[in-house]
Amino acid sequence: MVDHGTTSPDTTAPGTTARPPGDRTRPERRGPWAALRHALPQSYLLLVLLAIVVAGFIASPDFLTARNATNVVTFSTIVAVLAVGQFFVVLTGGIDLSVGSVVALSTVVSALLLQQGYPAGVAVLLTLAACALVGLLNGVLVVGLRIAPFIATLATLSMVQGISYIIQSTSLIQITDPTFVTWFSDGALVGIPNPVLIFILVTLVAAYAARYTTFGRRLYAVGGNREAARLSGLPVNRDLLLTYGLSGLLAGLAGLLAAAQLLQGSSLIGQGYELDAIAAVVVGGASLFGGKGNPVGAVIGCFIISIITNIMNLIGISSEPQLVIKGLVIVIAVFLSSAGGVDRISAAFAGVRGRRRRLAGG
């Protein structure tokens, strides 16, 4: 006679071992070394920034003065805004070499409109619209004509630079509109300069969009595997158009900041800015292959480069060695971000720790 009251069916899944009654799986123990290995890939940027600040304090007594700090932050806002726009393009696996020329176009167009008597608000809107159209043109070349982003934006760089020369004619266009200068340079809110407020707002909006919106998640998917994203039904072409348009728009905003700080429009402004923006994105941990990084990291990368440059200026290093040092910084950053250097370093630390434990146990 079978005792049905004391026998229970075996619910253990096939291929698994039944746990003894009362057995509870212990949570994985994580010591300080394991925690450090987990945190290193996520926090190395802040550690690098902190180390550079300490080095600057040691190298020059003028580094941590209020005036120097304000100058570094204010002049970094232009490249920081550019870096945010460049980040979204790099996130999709592309690149935008035209942003420096778009900065110059923005300064020339805004200065010309202000010179002709347009109100500051109208001049700003028309300038941003023109720069966004340049970004959309890049998107059309990449999506519609299937031209490689490097070639497409290189061609746009040349065209926009030529247009800026034509608009400027032969002389610099001076900016005297007090409202425009207050908005993008001299004004402040609760003691914080307007350029700093603008770049903080841009960074926060970009960080939210990248992390919490469907548009941001789609861009990560496109950068991770464009064909898989397309086969999944994602609007890849539309998102690429919007991404390049956004890059042009933010380049236009950076141009407005430059125009207000320099009080002029010039086709020469912005030369080399595209390389600074790309360097900031790479130093900030984004991969040039796409699908990795965040806009906050790009901004931190911008400040890392700016602070290094500032320290070199304070201690009297000439421009030629500065270029060498910047190049080395970019190489190291590419190793850490795109070549998996952070993971290799953290794994190496873990391996050394493991060998020490085995030797101690033996």
> Tens of pLDDT along 66-78?
889 988 998 899 9
CA nearest to 259, candidates 151, 105, 72: 105
Min mean pLDDT across 120-134, 142-156, 164-178, 343-357 is at 343-357
b/e sequence 165-195, b meaning 16+ C-beta within 10 Å: eebbeeebbebebeebbebbbebeeeeebbb
* Predicted pLDDT of residue 329: 81
Residues 296-308 have a mean pLDDT of 92
Residues 289-316 have a mean pLDDT of 92
CA nearest to 100, candidates 256, 303, 254, 314: 254
* Predicted pLDDT of residue 332: 79
* Predicted pLDDT of residue 296: 92
152 burial via Cβ count (<10 Å: 0-12, 13-18, 19+): buried
| Sequence spans of domains, the chain | 42-336
CB-based contacts of 179, cutoff 8 Å, min separation 6: 119, 120
3-state class (DSSP) for residue 193: strand
* Predicted pLDDT of residue 320: 84
Residues 77-92 have a mean pLDDT of 96
Contact 259, 276 (CB under 8 A): no
Q: How far is CA 53 from CA 56, 155, 309, 310, in A?
A: 5, 39, 12, 11
* Predicted pLDDT of residue 12: 45
Query: How far is the C-alpha of 293 from the C-alpha of 263, rounded, in Å?
Result: 35
Residues 176-205 have a mean pLDDT of 94
Residues 321-336 have a mean pLDDT of 81
The fold of 42-336 is: ABC transporter involved in vitamin B12 uptake, BtuC (1.10.3470)
pLDDT higher than threshold 50 for residue 301 = yes
* Predicted pLDDT of residue 342: 60
pTM: 0.83
